[in-house]
Amino acid sequence: MKKIILSLAIISSAVFINKAVAQFSQGGTPFSFTVDSRHLPSFENKTMPPLDLDALKAEDAVNDLSKGPFRFGYNHYVSLNLQNSGTWTTLPNGDRLWRLGIKSPNALTINLAFDDFFMPKGASLYIYNTSRDFVIGAFTDVNNQKDKAFATDLIAGESIVLEYYEPALVVNQGRISLFRVTHAYRGVKEYATKQFGGSGSCEINVNCPLGANWQNEKKGVVCLVVNGGEFCSGSLVNDVPQDGKPYVLTANHCSTSNDWASWIFRFNWEAPTCTNPSSSPSTAQSLSGSILCARNTPSDFCLVQITGGLTNNTVPASYSTYFNGWSNIDVPADSAWGIHHPSGDIKKISEAANACTAVAWTGSVTDHWQVGLWTQACTEPGSSGSPLFDQNHRIVGQLHGGPSACGNTGANMVDSYGKFAVSWLGGGTSATQLKVWLDPNNTGATTLNGFDPNMHIGVADNNISTTPFSIYPNPSDGNFNLEVKLATAQNLTVKVINVVGEVVSQNLISNVLNGKYIIDLTSQPKGIYFAEISTFTQTTVKKIIVLK
């Protein structure tokens, strides 16, 4: 590790950044992008060992015959931290900058996992590729988790830079310990660089006519990055209290590495229309980090709770999520639909317009539902863990496996899903069942409809008369009036979030009762934003539109 004291004058320069990834972050610009590079020293670079691609592809050829996770990357295990790697630079005002370059030759993308991550107040971490056109961050103290873990979404390219900025007031308080570097060698163009079509030709985008009646349910389905280098699918699942706890149901076979703390959950990863888009959709947003709640092998279920990037202990309102409902009644569905991310591709929908059948995965216990032949589309590796919905739009299982594939016909166009009804009581303990988590008050519920949290806090309707907050004009050129009418004086936090989950503005207004305040977004590009207005007792989210 190198340490350098910078005594030269810093020279500002204009830079352009393409904010390419929508991981929950605070936005902004890396410090090194704002200065003349001639006044910053070089920094240490680490190169990962080469891969045996032939061996990996031979393994994939076998693994892809099952409906397991779709492996896209190879995990390099490392031990790199602020003390043993990278280069420190002390700035004239006492602030410090740490940079570390990582290269994994011929990688399509790189993603990272940390086992000790702590950002003190005012500090920030950015990660970007060496061409500086793909940036994630800033990651700050809002990304700190109790388990000290952190993971990143996929970053395009074979060479990346970690850049940590630490103000003088918090020198030596930050912790960054990197334990895994994942080298993507296949199947990630669809995920990271937004080039589509990695899944089979028969797959149907979720916003095609087949998905017209599933526009709520699709919002709860997520693409998962698990075990560092694998794709699976899962779904937010509602609980009886309908309190927005971010539970995600997926398959147990997606959690073989027990690394839930570094899982990535990508929301809204879909084409906006029926056809594949020609450019990157702006809808995809992701969160990282979770804890295990329960899992069990017979019905192949795994329930985790997202821990990173939450707002008021749930998924940020700007993600426009939906918590899917369920049925624990052991009765076959008359017809069934699957929503999933085959091969890590954008969100797809499949239909089986005939009744499911109870089957045994192994042994004689009928712990799975087999779809009665897919009539439109099917599933693939990477679809593992995705929800199976019955005709009442409720989850009745999650994908375990099966022979279906584009081009197959007849009896091979089936798949098996672990029964939600069997997972409900599971192995009889809190660690092996769904019931204790999804019905914590033991109400005896057998079915539960889906839950849209945004309908309860104002995202869906900007003109709810009961709200004490109003924003106008809307749309505007970036200048918005916030009118507040409260019954008692309270402190008010106004946070504005863009469609990729970045906080672009945040202000605290003290002792507010009645009045008008300005939200200034004139420096932001045109588009849709979400104003999250919070007091001690309530939170309201309003969609606002900047037109220029």
Closest CA to 24 of 500, 537, 525: 500
Which amino acid is residue 244, in one-letter code?
G
Return the closest-CA partner of residue 17 out of 97, 137, 125. Answer: 137
Q: Does the annotation mark 300 as catalytic?
A: yes
Residue 512 contacts by C-beta under 8 Å, 6 or more apart in sequence?
484, 486, 489, 490, 491, 492
**Burial of 537 (C-beta count, 10 Å sphere; 0-12/13-18/19+):** exposed
Reference 521, options 546, 491, 501; nearest CA is 546
Q: What angle do CA 241, 242, 246 make, to 5 degrees?
A: 115
Q: Say whether 8 sits in a helix, a strand or coil.
A: coil
Selection from 119, 27, 116 nearest residue 79 by Cα: 116
Which residue of the set 95, 259, 300, 367 is catalytic?
A: 300
By CB neighbour count within 10 A (0-12 exposed, 13-18 middle, 19+ buried), where does 215 fall? exposed
Q: Determine the Cα–Cα distance for residues 258 and 37; give it in Å rounded to an integer.
A: 42
Radius of gyration of the chain (CA): 24
Q: Write the burial class of residue 363 (CB in 10 Å: 0-12 exposed, 13-18 middle, 19+ buried).
A: exposed
* Residue 376 bridge partners (DSSP): 351
In degrees, to the nearest 5, what angle opens at C-alpha 151 toward C-alphas 94 and 255? Answer: 160
Q: Are 250 and 232 in contact (CB under 8 A)?
A: yes
Least Cα distance to 496 among 514, 471, 473, 463 occurs for 471
d(CA 199, CA 468): 47
Q: How far is residue 154's CA from residue 108's CA, in Å, rounded to a whole number?
A: 9
CA dist 173 and 157 (Å) reads 31
The yes-or-no answer on residue 456 being catalytic is no
State the catalytic residue, choosing from 76, 183, 253, 400: 253
Per annotation, catalytic residue among 318, 350, 383, 384: 384
Collapsed DSSP state (helix, strand, coil) of residue 261: helix
- Assign 3-class secondary structure to 207-236: CCHHHHHHCCHHHHEEEEEECCCEEEEEEE
Task: Give the rounded distance of the alpha carbon of 66 from its chain centre.
Answer: 25
Query: Is the sign of the CA dihedral 299, 300, 303, 309 positive or negative?
Result: negative
Q: What angle do CA 203, 58, 204 make, to 5 degrees?
A: 5
Q: Is residue 162 within 8 Å of residue 102, measured between CB atoms?
A: yes
Distance between CA atoms of 142 and 493, rounded to whole angstroms? 15
Catalytic residue check, 124 = no
Residues designated catalytic: 253, 300, 384
